[in-house]
Amino acid sequence: MASIDLKREPRYRYRATTTPAMVTVPPRPFLMVDGEGDPNTAPAYRAAVETLYPLAYALRAAVKAATGDAYTVMPLEGLWWADDMSTFSVAAKDEWRWTLMISLPDAVEQVDAADVLARAVAAKRPPAGDRVRLESYAEGDAAQVLHRGPFATEPATIERLHAFIDSERRVLRGRHHEIYLSDLRRTAPEKLRTLIRQPVAPR
């Protein structure tokens, strides 16, 4: 039996420092659920979280049964945007659109993922089971930084990241990406670790 460590392939995908840096992120399959609204109050957000984890574990069990390979279910990630990005603001969370997702190993291609998900949805009846999908996602060139502390203090970190992007003669493209490295249920806000990533293009 092999152990697949997604945090090491490539290593920077889930590791960053508080100093912004450029990376190139290759494609990887993800389990995804789309939604909209304030993550603090929108029922759809909680439903997405409550759906992704049991289905991620179902896929993990199927991969292990089919290949003998084991892997750790990865942390929650989120893509965030607004229909009009010029209006995207922390003060207008009700207007946010998002995709919550969990990274999967390439080995998931060795099982009938659609069948595994269909059977898991029928058995577990997760609240967003009708909205879940498996999709490859690649960001290519991006800048990223580690944010330490509560989400309320993220704007200053994001501002530093955007200033770095400008200094690298790049412009923002795509969607704001956050990877929640800490267990949100068990970690004090001041100790949270969030990897913030922004795809970029040449100026």
User: What pLDDT score was predicted for residue 85?
Assistant: 58
* CA separation for the pair 187, 189 (Å, rounded): 6
Residue 70 vs residues 3, 40, 77, 104, 194: alpha-carbon distances, Å: 5, 33, 21, 12, 25
pLDDT per position as a tens digit, 113-166:
999 999 999 999 999 999 999 999 999 999 999 999 999 899 899 999 999 999
pTM for the complete prediction?
0.92
Q: What is the mean pLDDT of residues 26-30?
A: 93
Q: How far apart are CA 59 and CA 103, in angstroms?
A: 11
Distance in angstroms (rounded) separating the CA atoms of residues 178 and 194: 7
Q: What are phi and psi of 9, to 5 degrees?
A: -130, 90
| Residue 120 DSSP symbol | H
What's the CA gap between 92 and 95, in Å, rounded? 6
Which of 34-49 are b and which e, b meaning 16 or more Cβ less than 10 Å from the residue's Cβ?
A: bbebebeebebbebbb
Q: What is the pLDDT of residue 83?
A: 72
Which of the residue ranges 88-97, 104-113, 136-145 would you say has the lowest mean pLDDT? 88-97
Residue with tokens 């909680």: 46
Residue 200 near residue 173, CB atoms below 8 Å? yes
Q: Closest Cα partner for 96 from 110, 83, 111?
A: 83
